[in-house]
Structures are given as structure tokens and as C-alpha cells.
Chains A and B, each alone.
Chain A
């Protein structure tokens, strides 16, 4: 799969228009959020705790519905073209790695034989092809997260939502997974919305950073990281990266003061 089209020239995948979500009638979790997600985007939602990042993802995933505003899929895509990766690996402990990755297909009525090749391919993408028969408890935290990502990739979804997937991992594992995630995205050519608390992570991964503020949760700024993919360790040490980190960090500070 070729690199995604330049930022300005991508076709729309999903449109959020003035989306507001209120809980229990008075907690405004998200206020008037508008965002157009384009095919091939890597969007990070960056913001302090409680600014509605998870709420936004749940709305996009169709797990809850906007109190006001609309979320519309564009260009024939719909919510079956979607996968989610949670903060915890969220694997079924009673099932092997391969069975866990098979789950999305299984729920759509496909036997293991029918989709075996896809399952193995997804495991190869995350580097776990030798662990098909292992049970989750036999794996390290990072490996479990990889299984979780393989499960998301296996159906080749157009859009993958990730809610702080690497927050619980150590720095080294996290860097490695960040690198691998970019590589996988490049291979599959999907779109990613990635929730994070980390300025560095968001700059390294994304081409668009949506900075959000809390009380009420809202978008206050959108930054563009125009560094080309593939990005590697050299990018992590470049002046360009440092500059983007400073800009994102400033925006985040503003977001915290605005609250």
C-alpha cells in the first residue's frame, strides 16, 4: 500500500458535526465537537483527563449516541468498517491467541478454516505468528497488546479507534509498538484515531493532532505534523520533531488553562 495522499487531498471517511454528549442531563462530556476524518489520516486526540476523548471514541464506535449533532460515514463506509483497541488488551482469557484474533470473523459467522489465512497474516503483522496456541496469561503486557491490535487488524477495517492503547506499557515497549503501529498502518492503509495523554506519542504517530480541553470537553486547536512517513528513530531525534512537540505542548497547556 502506497503512502496516503497528501493531507489536503484525502477523501472524507467520517464527519462529526457539532456533536454534543450530555450524561445524566447535566454532565457535558463533549460540547460541539466537529471533526472530519479523512481516509488515511492518523489523528491523535490529545488532552487532559476528562476532556471527553473516550466519549468521542465511543460515539464514533456507535457505543453511545450524540445528544445533539450528527456523526455521518462518508463514501459508502459504515460502522462495520471499524475496529477498536482499548487501554487494556481485553482478550478472552479462556481462548488461545489465534481464537482471540478469530473473534471478529467468528461473530460474523465465519469458520476458522475460512479465515485462517487472515488470522495468521494479522498475527504475522504484529510479530506473534509463533504464539497462536498460547493463552493470554502466558504473554507479556506488550504481547497481549499486540494480540489486541491483531484482532483489530484482522478484518482490514477502514477505521481503527485506539483509546490510550499503550498507556500501561513501559517506555521501551511503547516506543517499539509506536514504530510497529506506523509500519502496520502503512501496510494496511487504514485510518487511525488515537487517544493519548502523551505529547511525544501524538507527534511521533500522527499527521493531525486534535487538542481538547475539559469542562466542558471540546476541541480547542488542531495541529498538523507534516513530517513524511515512514517515520523512524531519526525522526524522534530531529529538530522538526522537537519543534512539533513544543507546539503541541503549548497547545496542551492552553487547554489545561482554559479548563
Chain B
């Protein structure tokens, strides 16, 4: 007797629906990269044509080629400014992480502390940083420290809020289990609450990364002073005063690129830390 049923004789055989779905998935994976790049190319082209055809002067709207040339030409100055902005951003992010996680841990250790301080964290969050920054620069002598404080104020809240939520969302049966085995407060934090909070923390971190860059840039606008050791925001202001629009665009491009790199880096970190066990990092999701 011969077996003719193809699904039995050929285990790799897949049905039509599966094939179609696999093809759709493959196309989507490629499109995810190709489409934005094509879009970008088109935008640059249209931008360039508009500028050329309408003979728009470069002090009103420079074309992409001029912006690129400026980027290359001013690279030394812009790169120094980028390093300054980046340094403030990363330091603010680091302090936001330490402060946010530290406060969150403190809050979950004691309801009293949480009740006393949480409202102030919210107030700090909802007050626009532009309105606090001038005060900060009056009281804080060191310009760097002032910038750092501003960026930190903007960035720490998502870390605090998400981590607090995460620490409190440990499975209640696991909590009971820890109690039954006589776990200490420290053991419960270390082995249960911190791992439970990790996905929440990483979500907050991704938001905080972008916010600390915003905080750093906004604070520098407010601080307004320049000279040696000034960041990209000041370079934009300065170029604006001099009607050097191409340089403004070049600096703007660097800020946007920095933001993208920070976001991508943190997303990658999050993926690496969670891919083994957390739903959000498993196949099929970004």
C-alpha cells in the first residue's frame, strides 16, 4: 500500500495559507527598512528641487546638499558641541536612572515615604522645565551642574513611575511563596520585585532617553551662554543670530540623529535583557 496523503508523506509541506503568511512576513520585514529609506530619499530630492527651481536663497532655506557641505565643513565645531550635549544627556540619563530607581525602591519599602514624596515628584514633572530652568541657573553657579539638573528633572519621572509600578506588580502568589519560605525584605526585593520591574523599568528608560536629550537642549537654550564647551543648542542659537541657516540645519540634524541613536540603543538593550523570557521581546514584536 502506498501512502498518498501529502501531509503525512512530506512533513515539510505547508499549506497555502502558511506560505502566504510567511511571504507577507518576509515582505514586511524588508519594507520596515526600505520604506523609511525611500521616503527619506524622496523627501531630500523634493526639498532639493524646490530650493533649486524656486531659487530660494540659502539664508531662508538651504538645500540638502548645502546642509551636508556645512556639516562637513563645520564638523570640528559641531562635533565638539555634539560631545557636550551628549555628555549632559548621558549624565542626566544616568542620574535619572539612579535617582528614579532609588526613589522607586524607597517608595516600595515604605508607604509613608511614598505618601510623603510622591506628590512632589509629580509636581516636579508637571511643571515645564523652561519655567524652572532660569531659577536653577540663578542658584546653581556651575553651568554644567545647572544643565544636568534641568535634564534630570525632565528625565527621571518616567523611570520613577514605571519602576514603582513594576516593583508593585510582582505576582501575588509568588509574594506568598516568598513569605512562606521566610524571605527577608532584601531577598524579596532582589529576587522578586526587581526582576518583575525590569520590563517596566526598560520601558521608562526608553522614554527617559529621549527626554534627557530634550532636557539638555532646552536647558541650554535657557542658559543661553556660549563660548568654549557649549553644546548643539547654543550653536543653533548662535547660527540663528548670524543668519547661518545651513549650520542651524546641520546642528538640528545632529540632534535628531542623536535622539534616534539613543532610542535605538536603549531598545536594543531592552531586547537583549528581555528576549529570553518576556512577551514584549519575543519574536514577531519590535
- B176 interfacial contact with A, CB 8 Å: yes
- B181 interfacial contact with A, CB 8 Å: yes
Q: Give residues of chain B (184-203) contacting chain A, Cβ–Cβ below 8 Å.
A: 187, 191-192, 195, 198
A108 touches B171 (CB 8 A): no
A92: B residues at CB distance < 8 A: 174, 191-192, 195
Contacts A93-B278, A103-B191, A107-B191 given; does A63 touch B174 at CB 8 Å: no
Bound together, the chains give a CA A106 to CA B195 distance in angstroms of: 16
Q: Give residues of chain B (157-187) contacting chain A, Cβ–Cβ below 8 Å.
A: 171, 173-174, 176-183, 187
Bound together, the chains give a CA A95 to CA B179 distance in angstroms of: 19
B171: A residues at CB distance < 8 A: 90
A79: B residues at CB distance < 8 A: 180
B180 touches A94 (CB 8 A): no
- B21 interfacial contact with A, CB 8 Å: no
A82: B residues at CB distance < 8 A: 180
A84 touches B277 (CB 8 A): no
Contacts A92-B195, A135-B277 given; does A107 touch B173 at CB 8 Å: no
B177: A residues at CB distance < 8 A: 84, 86, 90, 103
A63 touches B191 (CB 8 A): no
A107 touches B187 (CB 8 A): yes
Q: Is the interface of B mostly helix, strand, loop or mixed?
A: helix
Quick one: which of B179, B187, B198, B277 has the most chain A CB within 10 A?
B277
- A80 interfacial contact with B, CB 8 Å: yes
B178: A residues at CB distance < 8 A: 107
B195 touches A94 (CB 8 A): yes
A86: B residues at CB distance < 8 A: 173, 176-177
Bound together, the chains give a CA A90 to CA B176 distance in angstroms of: 10
We find that the number of chain B residues with CB closer than 8 angstroms to chain A is 20
- A88 interfacial contact with B, CB 8 Å: yes
B242: A residues at CB distance < 8 A: none
Binary contact track A90-116/B, C-beta < 8 Å → 1, others 0: 101111000000011011100000000
Bound together, the chains give a CA A107 to CA B181 distance in angstroms of: 7
B181 touches A63 (CB 8 A): no
- B276 interfacial contact with A, CB 8 Å: yes
B277: A residues at CB distance < 8 A: 93-94, 135-137
Bound together, the chains give a CA A83 to CA B177 distance in angstroms of: 8
Bound together, the chains give a CA A92 to CA B195 distance in angstroms of: 9
Chain A proximity of B211: nearest CB distance (Å): 27
Give the residue name and chain of the A residue nearest to B172 (CB). A90
A63: B residues at CB distance < 8 A: 176, 179-180
We find that the number of chain A residues with CB closer than 8 angstroms to chain B is 24
Bound together, the chains give a CA A39 to CA B3 distance in angstroms of: 58
Chain B proximity of A108: nearest CB distance (Å): 7
B183: A residues at CB distance < 8 A: 107
Q: Give residues of chain B (263-286) contacting chain A, Cβ–Cβ below 8 Å.
A: 276-278, 282
Chain B proximity of A255: nearest CB distance (Å): 27
Bound together, the chains give a CA A83 to CA B192 distance in angstroms of: 18
Bound together, the chains give a CA A56 to CA B210 distance in angstroms of: 51
- A62 interfacial contact with B, CB 8 Å: yes
Q: Give residues of chain A (196-235) contacting chain B, Cβ–Cβ below 8 Å.
A: none
Bound together, the chains give a CA A61 to CA B180 distance in angstroms of: 7
Bound together, the chains give a CA A93 to CA B173 distance in angstroms of: 13
Bound together, the chains give a CA A79 to CA B282 distance in angstroms of: 40
Q: Give residues of chain A (56-100) contacting chain B, Cβ–Cβ below 8 Å.
A: 58, 61-63, 79-80, 82-84, 86, 88, 90, 92-95
A135: B residues at CB distance < 8 A: 276-277
Chain A proximity of B200: nearest CB distance (Å): 13
Bound together, the chains give a CA A97 to CA B278 distance in angstroms of: 15
Bound together, the chains give a CA A90 to CA B191 distance in angstroms of: 14
Bound together, the chains give a CA A76 to CA B143 distance in angstroms of: 68
Chain A proximity of B281: nearest CB distance (Å): 11
27 residue pairs A–B, Cβ–Cβ below 8 Å = A62-B179, A62-B180, A79-B180, A80-B182, A82-B180, A83-B180, A84-B177, A84-B180, A88-B173, A90-B174, A92-B191, A92-B195, A93-B277, A94-B198, A94-B276, A94-B277, A103-B177, A103-B181, A103-B191, A106-B191, A107-B191, A108-B182, A135-B276, A135-B277, A136-B277, A137-B277, A137-B282
Residues of A near any B CB (own CB < 8 A): 58, 61-63, 79-80, 82-84, 86, 88, 90, 92-95, 103-104, 106-108, 135-137
User: Which 5 pairs across A and B sit closest by C-beta, in order of nearness?
Assistant: A90-B173, A107-B181, A94-B195, A93-B277, A107-B183
